[in-house]
Chains A and B, each alone.
Chain A
Amino acid sequence: MTFSLLFDTMIAAFAVGAVAAMVLPLGALMRRLALTAAAIGSAAALALGVNVLRAGAIWTGRWDNLLQPLGGVSLRLDSLGAFFLVIVGFTGVPASLYAIGYLRHLDGHLRSRTTHAVFNMFLASMCLVPCADNVATFLFAWEMMALSSYLLVVSDPEQHDASSAGIWYAAMTHAGFLALLAAFVILAQGGSWEFSALHRAGATLTPAARGAVFLLMAAAFGSKAGLVPLHVWLPRAHPAAPSHASALMSAAMVNLGVYGLARVVFDLLPPGPPWWGGLLLAVGVITALTGVLYSVAETHLKRVLAYSTVENLGLVFIGLGFALLMRGYGYGPLASMGLVAALLHALNHAVFKNLLFLAAGSVVHGTHGASMEAFGGLIKRMPMTAVLSLVGALALAGLPPINGFPSEWLTFQLLVAGAQHTAPALAIVLPLALAGVALVAGLAAVSGVRLFGITFLALPRSPGARDAHESAGIMIAAMAIPAVTCVVLGVAPTLVIPQLSRIASDLGQPAGPLSEGLALSVPLVGSRLWPAVITLLMVGTGLAAAVAVRLAGRARSVRIDAAWNCGRIIQSPRSEYTAAAFAEPLKRVFTGFYRPRQEVTVDVHPASRYFVRAIRLRADLTPWMEQMLYEPLLRATQAASNRMRQIHSGSIHFYLALLPAALLALLLIARWIP
């Protein structure tokens, strides 16, 4: 079977990569081999996913002797899993190729061994998650994914905040793991741990138990996907990890949270009450708004991207929640449309976020800075990276003709169709969601302009940016893969629509076709989007105008001179707009959300307070979500561990007395539990 062959190739390649990283002598050969193996493994995963999707087949595999006490390894790849395997594979290839050039500076360092080996392990575990068909395999792959990504987050000793980011990440991911475990225990009811058995068991659960399973799963997978308020680890961990790893975390790993929840609510659990969907929809809107508002205000380049990930996963969850809500009320075609929109946006976001994180890595690599305030003028020093980033910024802004737009358009249509075709009591809440999505779209455009404009345009604002250098050829080539895909998916989103519709119908939500030829079409609201024509018109007009200017202007003079700047003679990078300045109007408009803090220190001459020597302004935002939710939790944990510490009296007699007391307590508990 070709499927099995591809799967074996994938696992073998990752294994070879990991082993090569551990045993080969330190150096360029080891790096190339380990990372090429990762790229081959990802390509095999991509091929496996694409083949399963195209054939409409289901691939299964079993290894009873592995993980035996837990029920063996059981794999099954259906269309939903294959789709997410495609996302992992497709983002894995560029990330691995990019790392070949990006991690050159690690050659000769001992930590390059673990970095390369763990990277292979991370990819392998992410490929396993969508294939898993029983609880043991799933949790094993899930935990391996969490562990390896944790190791990647803390792998760079030069990142000073990496260890704190790692603690946040580890705590959140393990709380999620516990929730997952509890949900599976409730769902399995002590029976078999195979997913097919869980599917049957789900039907016999009481509504309350089903609700509990849903909430636990939503919390567990939602924390992985960065749903507010469980997103706090994401803007910490993603920037701390090396860029090829953050590209994978942001593009692939968070999407597996989406996969997990989709698997549970559309496959394992029977159709639930509408409030499930309503909850996800509301949380999705809040997540998208929170993410975009912070991404507009943040100045650390990779944190801007991390918050944008939060925003986009919010949009995905809006589609997912909408689908659940509509299924709950029995509007089948709307539910299916919601699923398609969610999956399409997950794919589009994965592609462009992969690109943007890799580009951010190039910028950080080339300038040795991390904050957007220290960049500027990079378009002249890193021309290729700039062009590729422009594609990414347009996608992030959700503008045609790049791939961020079609899925955003579909989300708009979704909410309009929902408001139009459902009972008024339900429809009346959808305009609010629509307004939220529209505000997100508008702010994302601000974020896109800021991201590209402040980083690449104007004059360099630091020595690092002045001496920036372009990335190696292989890094550019690796970034070109997602960039070209962004354009292709933006011009012809219909290439993937049939597959997405098939996934929706495999999940029990069949619907009419959403595409006609190369155009997306939504018959429910009678609207169409034919991106190819729009692009042709736009590019055609632009080129025609360029030719006209060129022809008419042969005799005209073009003078390159100092910027006019309203008559100011000297132009200095100190007077140009910075990332913080660019966001200032929005910070004022949304003061209630940002809660900005300002601190002005004026240093005056001792002789007179009218001679000011320096004025220092410190401005930052109050992280009130964390203060409100996590600080009480942290304080409680601290207090509890302080209590516990009192036991450590140092007296051996006391410890010995504790032992039988604990034993007695356990025996008593065991007596009461049947």
Chain B
Amino acid sequence: MRAILFIAGQTLLLAVLAPAVIGYVRFVKARLQGRRGAGVCQPYRELRKTFGKGMVIAESASWIFRAAPFAVIGATIAAASLVPVVSASQPADRAGDLFVLAALLMLGTFFLALGGLDPGTAFGGMGSSREMTVAALTEPTLAIAVLTLALTTGSTSLGVIAGSVLGTPAYAVGPGHALAFAAFLIAMIAETGRLPVDNPSTHLELTMIHEAMILEYSGPYLALIEWAAGIRLTLLMTLAANLFVPWGMATSLAAPAVAAGLVAILVKLGVLGLFLAVLETRVAKLRLFRVPELLALSFTLALLAAASSFFTR
């Protein structure tokens, strides 16, 4: 019971934190670009506004269009529940590991892509096709990054990975982990549609990937999809932080340790968000057909990481 409450709490934390993370990245980006920028809480207001609006649904759409937002949020929340957020002792390890998490994210993408195809508009199909291509090409990187982690820590379960890196800090500074971290970050950027793969704030349909898919959505459906996208970004950032740099995480479910873990994850998300904002200010969006090159780079990094884990074993 305690374990279930703990998982629910962690998941809720990720879900509630998600808009703030987006708002924070946007805020830092604005400051870096010399603008004042909206406050960190702006995405909450946007979500509330969108959620309260009426909807227009294309007459060519079917029930898939209406079901997709719920499938997306369901799959994303299920993925979020597997992530160890404040404590390395993660009871959800019993339900699934990193491969399950990747599959759940893919399930969300799957339904989003169907939702994009459903109204039969050119932009929706274009977005779906591109999003699925990028998602497919990211899979090998993720798998090899998981393998690298499993090779040093002996498991693919998220809590166990974080826990054993905590126990043996030497793992984290080895070449395997460092390379895998770089590969994972690139995969994360591709999976969440950030620059240089996709521009979340673009207004030009022809360059869109994720945004083109959801052009037909409005009102509460759009709010759910935007929220799910936020959770996806937050959970992947949390993963990057806690699997590769787990320090500060609690190792038990005791209250003081968990409180310290909470502070630690907020700090880590702050640093990662800063990195994301700096990156998005520095780089331009890649042409779509240059994206595979970036992904090939991250795949090579991951493969090198796995190879070096063999040699240092």
Contacts and interface: CB of A to CB of B under 8 A. Distances in A.
A582 B139 CA distance: 19
A446 B109 CA distance: 10
Interface stretch (B30-38, B90-98, B234-242, B268-276): B90-98
A457 B144 contact: no
Contact of B137 (A415, A442, A563): A442
A558 interface: yes
A526 B157 CA distance: 7
Given A564-B58, A584-B129, A589-B137, A526 B120 contact: no
Interface in A403-445: 405, 409, 412-413, 415-416, 419-420, 424, 427-428, 431-432, 434-439, 441-443, 445
Interface string A479-511: 000000000000000000000000000000000
A453 B137 contact: no
A449 interface: yes
Contacts of B59: 560-563
Interface stretch (A151-159, A222-230, A548-556): A548-556
Interface stretch (A11-19, A332-340, A570-578): A570-578
A526 B143 contact: no
A527 B155 contact: yes
B64 A416 contact: no
A530 interface: yes
Contacts of A557: 54-55
A541 B78 contact: yes
Contacts of A588: 289
Contacts of A545: 69-70, 73-74, 224
B56 A564 contact: yes
State which size class the interface on B falls in.
Answer: 35 or more
A212 interface: no
A538 B74 contact: yes
A427 B103 contact: no
Nearest to A549: B220
A584 B129 CA distance: 8
A568 B124 CA distance: 13
A564 B60 CA distance: 11
B10 interface: no
Nearest to B299: A435
B301 to A, nearest CB: 12
B167 interface: no
Given A379-B62, A458-B119, A525 B150 contact: yes
Given A413-B99, A445-B106, A542-B74, A528 B157 contact: yes
Given A563-B60, A582-B128, 10 more contacts: A428-B310, A431-B144, A436-B140, A458-B119, A528-B157, A537-B77, A542-B74, A552-B220, A557-B54, A562-B59
A254 B181 CA distance: 42
A379 B64 contact: yes
A397 B51 contact: no
Given A400-B104, A439-B140, A449-B117, A556 B125 contact: no
Interface in B47-61: 51-61
Contacts of B100: 400, 409, 529, 534
A208 B151 CA distance: 37
Closest 10 pairs (CB-CB, A-B): A577-B125, A458-B120, A542-B74, A442-B136, A442-B139, A438-B143, A563-B58, A453-B117, A557-B54, A526-B155
A585 B288 contact: yes
B303 interface: yes
B75 interface: yes
A588 B292 CA distance: 10
B226 interface: no
Contacts of A434: 143-144, 147
A454 interface: yes
Interface string A333-375: 0000000000000000000000000000000000000000000
B136 A439 contact: yes
Contacts of A519: 94-95
A551 to B, nearest CB: 11
A273 B243 CA distance: 39
Contacts of B174: none
A304 interface: no
Given A416-B147, A454-B117, A529 B96 contact: yes
B138 interface: yes
B143 A577 contact: no
28 contacts: A412-B143, A435-B299, A435-B303, A442-B106, A442-B139, A446-B133, A446-B135, A454-B117, A458-B118, A458-B119, A458-B120, A525-B154, A526-B155, A527-B157, A528-B95, A541-B77, A556-B52, A556-B55, A559-B54, A560-B56, A563-B59, A563-B216, A564-B58, A564-B215, A573-B120, A582-B129, A586-B133, A586-B136
B95 A534 contact: yes
B119 A563 contact: yes
Contacts of B122: 565, 575-577
B71 interface: yes
B88 interface: no
B219 interface: yes
A529 B97 contact: yes
Contact of A576 (B51, B103, B120): B120
A398 interface: yes
Given A454-B117, A564-B216, A530 B96 contact: yes
A271 B295 CA distance: 41
A533 interface: yes
A663 to B, nearest CB: 63
A581 interface: yes
Interface in A576-619: 576-577, 581-586, 588-589
B140 A537 contact: no
Given A445-B136, A526-B160, A534 B78 contact: yes
B119 to A, nearest CB: 5
B81 interface: yes
Interface string B196-207: 000000000100
A399 interface: yes
Interface in A514-539: 519, 525-530, 533-534, 537-539
A525 B220 contact: no
A565 B121 contact: yes
B55 A525 contact: no
A99 B17 CA distance: 54
Given A442-B138, A577-B126, A577-B128, A553 B57 contact: no
Output the residue of A413, A448, A529, A589 with the most chain B CB within 10 A: A589
Contacts of B160: 526
A477 B292 CA distance: 44
A66 interface: no
Interface string B214-225: 011001110010
B27 interface: no
B156 interface: yes
Contacts of B224: 545, 549
Contact of A528 (B78, B97, B121, B292): B97
B114 interface: yes
A245 interface: no
B2 interface: no
Given A437-B143, A438-B142, A584-B129, A400 B56 contact: no
Contact of B110 (A399, A419, A427): A399
A537 B53 CA distance: 28
A235 interface: no
Contacts of A432: 303
A545 B52 CA distance: 14
A376 to B, nearest CB: 7
Nearest to B288: A585
